[in-house]
Amino acid sequence: MSSTPRVIVVGGGLAGLVATRHLAVGGVDATLLERRDTVGGRVRTEERDGYRFDRGFQVLFTAYPAVRRELDLESLELRRFAPGAVVAREGRRSVLADPRRNPRALPATLSSPDVSIGDAVRLGRRWLALRRTDPETLFSGPDESIERFLLDRGFSETFVETVVAPFYGGITLDRSLSTSKRIFEYTFRTLAAGETAVPAAGMGAIPAHLETRAREAGGTIETGVDVTAVSSDGPVVTADDEAIEADAVVVATDPPAARELTAVESIPTDGRACVTQYYELPARASLGTGRRLLLNAVDDAGPNHVVPHSAVAPEYAPDGTTLLSATYLGDLDASDAELAARTRRSLESWYPERRFDALEAVHTDRIPFAQFDQPPGIHERLPDTREPSGAVYLAGDYTRWSSIQGAMASGRDAAKAVLEDLSG
Ligand SMILES: Cc1cc2nc3c(=O)[nH]c(=O)nc-3n(C[C@H](O)[C@H](O)[C@H](O)COP(=O)(O)OP(=O)(O)OC[C@H]3O[C@@H](n4cnc5c(N)ncnc54)[C@H](O)[C@@H]3O)c2cc1C
């Protein structure tokens, strides 16, 4: 390279932030343009009145390879969930724990009506089969829905409907389990190999950390800049009515915006939606599940899952209060008050000995496009980072799979491709 090449990265989610850092480390003049006032994209945290509200319930799986590579986990002061979950239904709650990590919970797990001994053995076998697998190979080969995959391997319908559906409904935002089984295999392997956690300062600490690393590497981050066009000629980026010439452009926006900016038709635009509502309770009124989340065993009008945030991370709530959230899957038009009433009804049916009159909604996030839809076979059809013409590249979860891992890995891939082509 003669003079320092200039690379523009459009979009400051995890993919764009990782791309910017790797580009800057690679010696180019890398500038990220983000239209919002803060970076993070789909991973953000709002702080208000001493509470930390992540934008929708999300967690960090510490065994994601890209998480290990891109983040200094120590500096994020992680607060960990207890492995397993509490499965709730009318009049009853049962604990499911991972006996490998918590042998004392084995009797409770085995006496749970939701998991037969056969299901527990089959889960153990899947873990043994997956743990030696290179996770990247899980995205090739035949594909089918999570439901078909599990039923064909002998898992009981009760286990699939009452445990897997709400658990993976929480991960894929698709309780029908019609999502690609690759997501099940990748995340099951990741969950079993590592921990599930949130930073003490909220999930927004992850992009803040990546932003610091990108700046330290020499990258420039500009927020409040809306990119309205990207032309492969040059290429040129139009931002706030100004044309900016560059040697390469990385489009790292959310999938619908990337499709609009590049016209690449293989970018998926069908999204999965959810609504997460946060509630305050007096501290003494905790749910008593410890650091485990609650899964709704029944596909009814109640939430898919309820999370005891302040039990996991006391920093999420002011002293003397408890912060919970309930996540509903899909695009609901129910009002905030109606959702709070539904959550109260569900909790009172799961805890018949208790009243939840004191449950007060303090924040609601309605997220129309949380993840792109991932039916079986979609991953082969996703675009490559070099798909657009000219020196325009793609980064973002939509080039891999919808996750923190997919987004971060895509940012590194795009930076690598740009650096290779610029020096070639
Ligand atoms: C509620 C919810 C729960 C989730 N749960 C998990 C989980 O538990 N684990 C997990 O691994 N993943 C989870 N995910 C998925 C994960 O968060 C995403 O896959 C990932 O953050 C996507 O990152 P990205 O950088 O590809 O895109 P985005 O985060 O969408 O970032 C794109 C950025 O581009 C910006 N932008 C768009 N258009 C323009 C423009 N024209 N000009 C300038 N900037 C623009 C946007 O403002 C945004 O900041 C969840 C997502 C949500 C929303």
* Model pLDDT for residues 251-261, shown as the tens digit of each residue: 999 999 999 99
What pLDDT is stored for residue 123 in this prediction? 86
The mean per-residue pLDDT over the stretch 346-372 comes to: 96
346 with 384, same domain: the answer is no
pLDDT > 90 in the chain, percent? 84
Q: What is the CATH number of the domain that holds 342?
A: 3.90.660.20
**Do 85 and 303 contact (CB within 8 A), yes or no?**
no
Are residue 281 and residue 359 in the same domain, yes or no? yes
- For residue 323, is it within any domain? yes
In this predicted structure, the answer to whether residue 108 has a pLDDT above a threshold of 90 is: no
Q: How confident is the model at residue 121 (pLDDT cuts 50, 70, 90)?
A: confident
Q: Is there a single domain that holds both residue 61 and residue 20?
A: no
Per-residue pLDDT at 54 exceeds 60? yes
Residue 103 scores a pLDDT above 70: no
One domain, residues 220 and 265: yes
Residue 39 lies in a domain: yes
Gap between the Cα atoms of 394 and 343, Å rounded = 40
Q: According to the model, what pLDDT value does residue 105 have?
A: 62
Looking at the fold, whether 354 and 416 belong to one and the same domain comes out as: no
Q: What is the pLDDT of residue 104?
A: 63
Q: Point out the ligand 1 atom lying closest to the alpha carbon of residue 17.
A: 25
Question: How many Å apart are CA 339 and CA 277, to the nearest integer?
Answer: 8
This prediction has a pTM of: 0.96
Average pLDDT over residues 233-249: 93
Is there a contact between 43 and 404 (Cβ–Cβ < 8 Å)? yes
129 falls in which pLDDT band (50, 70, 90)?
confident
280, part of any domain: yes
Instruction: Clarify whether residues 213 and 344 are in a common domain.
Output: no
pLDDT digit string, tens, across residues 214-233: 999 999 999 999 999 999 99
Render the burial of 184-223: b for 16+ CB within 10 Å, e for the rest: bbbbbbbbbebbbbbbebbbbbbbbbbbebbbebebebee
The answer, yes or no, to whether any atom of ligand 1 lies below 6 A from the CB of 370, is yes
Task: Find the 248 Cα to ligand 1 centroid distance in Å.
Answer: 22
Find out whether the beta carbon of 227 lies less than 6 Å from any atom of ligand 1: yes
Find the mean pLDDT for residues 361-390. Answer: 97
End-to-end CA distance of the chain: 9
Residue 211 Cβ inside 6 Å of ligand 1? The answer reads no
Q: What is the pLDDT of residue 380?
A: 95
Shared-domain flag, residues 34 and 55: no
Q: Quick check: CB of 135 below 6 Å from ligand 1?
A: no
Q: Is the CB of 315 under 6 A from ligand 1?
A: no
Residues 282-338: pLDDT tens digits? 877 889 899 999 999 999 999 999 999 999 999 999 998 999 999 999 999 999 999
Tell me the residue type at 86.
Answer: V
CA of 420 to the centre of ligand 1 (A): 26
Residue 366 lies in a domain: yes
Residue 373's pLDDT band (cuts 50, 70, 90) = very high
For residues 362 and 219, state if they share a domain.
Answer: no
Are 324 and 245 in the same domain?
A: no
Stretch 234-242: mean pLDDT, rounded?
A: 90
Atom of ligand 1 nearest to the CA of 402: 19
Q: Which atom of ligand 1 is nearest to the CA of 410?
A: 26
Evaluate whether residue 302 is within a structural domain: yes
CA of 176 to the centre of ligand 1 (A): 23
Distance from the alpha carbon of residue 179 to the mean position of ligand 1, in angstroms: 19
Q: Give the domain range for residue 226.
A: 6-43+204-269+377-423
Do residues 304 and 315 share a domain?
Answer: yes
* DSSP at 101: T
Rounded to an integer, what distance in angstroms lies between the CA atom of residue 416 and that of residue 424? 12
365 Cβ below 6 A of ligand 1: no
Domain-located, residue 390: yes
H and E: helices and strands count for the chain: 14, 20
Residue 188, domain member (yes or no): no
pLDDT at position 403 is: 98
Coil/strand/helix, residue 30? strand
Q: Is 222 in the pocket of ligand 1 (CB under 6 A)?
A: no
| Residue 183: both structure tokens together | 């997501």
Select from 352, 372, 392 the last residue of a domain: 372
| pLDDT of 1 over the 60 cut | no
Closest CA to 403 of 187, 100, 127: 187
Pairing of strands 45-48, 196-199: unpaired
Query: Is the model's pLDDT at 2 over the cut of 60?
Result: no
How high is the mean pLDDT of the chain?
94
Task: Find the mean pLDDT for residues 369-397.
Answer: 97
For 201, the token pair is 């300062």
Residue 97 predicted with pLDDT over 80: no
How far, in Å, from the CA of 254 to the mean position of ligand 1? Answer: 6
Distance 14 CA to ligand 1 centre (A): 7
Rounded CA-CA distance 245/236 in Å is 5
Question: What is the structure's pLDDT at 13?
Answer: 98
- CA distance linking residue 148 with residue 392, whole number of Å: 39
Q: What pLDDT sits at residue 283?
A: 75
Would you say residue 160 lies in a domain?
Answer: no
**Cis amide leading into 135 (omega within 30):** no
**Cα–ligand 1 centroid distance for 108 (angstroms):** 38
393 vs 413: CA distance, rounded Å: 10
Structural domains counted in the chain: 2
Same domain for 342 and 324: yes
* Closest to 421 in 3D by CA, of 214, 248, 235: 248
Residues 386 and 240 placed together within one structural domain of the fold: yes
- Yes or no: say if 222 and 8 are a contact pair by the CB < 8 Å rule: no
- 103: Cβ contacts below 8 Å, ≥ 6 apart: none
**Helix segments in 285-371, DSSP class H:** 309-312, 336-350
The pLDDT, as a whole number, for residue 132 is 83
Contact 193, 207 (CB under 8 A): no
